[in-house]
Amino acid sequence: MLDGYCFGMSRSARLLDLVQILRTHRRPVSGATLAEATGVSLRTLYRDIATLQAQGADINGEPGLGYILHPGFLLPPIMLSSEEIEALVLGARWVRANTDDRLQQSAAHALAKIAAVLPDDLRRDLETSALLVPNTRRGQHPERDIGALRDAIRAGIKLDIAYRDERAQETTRRIWPVALGYFEGLRILVAWCELREGFRHFRIDRMIEVTQTQETCPRRSEVLLAEWRRENGIVHDL
């Protein structure tokens, strides 16, 4: 089992999930059950329980006996301005309208988590936002390919692809996936190409076949992304 789900999640999100799971049980839950539900080892689960207890969560129990969360514990509320909420809603709606099923669901879950800790007036702003985005997903490439590409980027795994270029010529490449670009009606994979010994941009709809290898990229994806940004004069402001 890999801690924090297969390809990683923030610790704060994991702690929130743990609180939500404990809230659904009225009787003590074993550490093994909680560890499996949150995708971590028992040792990490025990550390997470201790962290929540230090933050004021009234969690009783100990290893071997199980844990129970008594009512009354609330995570600190998120304070956002109305425009910040609109920015989040607009971004989430774009993701839901223009990406694959997994990202759609994640966007919906993220908004639900934010709504759960917002004051009532700000929650209404989130739920009644009038900002709309068009749906450009119809007729796109298979959604599963996008999810697999994101997984490979996060895991730092090389891919073998069969690719058809603009002249309809087919080639086979081994690439190191770096980033995905979501454009209007077009998806682009940024990757280091071993054949060309440099960064290349591959249209997803021109990929005939994508196979995940067992080889790890020699440089981390964040390092490759920084190199690609420098080559293209792109400034990252986040």
- Answer yes or no: do 153 and 100 share one domain: no
pLDDT for 5 equals 41
- Answer yes or no: do 166 and 223 share one domain: yes
Mean pLDDT of 177-190: 89
What is the average pLDDT value for the chain, to the nearest integer?
83
Domain assignment present for residue 135? The answer is no
Mean pLDDT of 1-17: 57
Domain assignment present for residue 215? The answer is yes
d(CA 138, CA 133): 14
Q: What is the pLDDT of residues 43-82, one digit of tens each?
A: 999 999 998 888 788 899 878 889 998 876 655 555 567 7
pLDDT for 136 equals 64
Closest CA to 41 of 54, 32, 50: 32
User: What's the pTM?
Assistant: 0.60
Task: Please give the share of the chain, as a percent, with pLDDT higher than 70.
Answer: 85
pLDDT for 1 equals 42
Tally of domains in the chain: 3
Domain assignment present for residue 237? The answer is no
Sign of the Cα torsion 37, 42, 43, 49 reads positive
Q: What is the pLDDT of residues 118-175, one digit of tens each?
A: 777 777 888 888 888 877 655 555 555 788 899 999 999 999 999 999 899 999 999 9
Domain assignment present for residue 2? The answer is no
Q: Output the domain CATH number for residue 209.
A: 2.30.30.520
Domain assignment present for residue 74? The answer is no
DSSP conformation letters of the chain: --TTSTT---HHHHHHHHHHHHHT-SS-B-HHHHHHHHT--HHHHHHHHHHHHHTT--EEEETTTEEEEPTT--PPPP---HHHHHHHHHHHHHHHHHS-HHHHHHHHHHHHHHHHHS-HHHHHHHHT---------TT-S-HHHHHHHHHHHHHTEEEEEEEE-TTS-EEEEEEEEEEEEEETTEEEEEEEETTTTEEEEEEGGGEEEEEEEEEEPSS-HHHHHHHHHHHHTPPP--
- Answer yes or no: do 183 and 208 share one domain: yes
Domain around 89: 82-127
Domain assignment present for residue 134? The answer is no
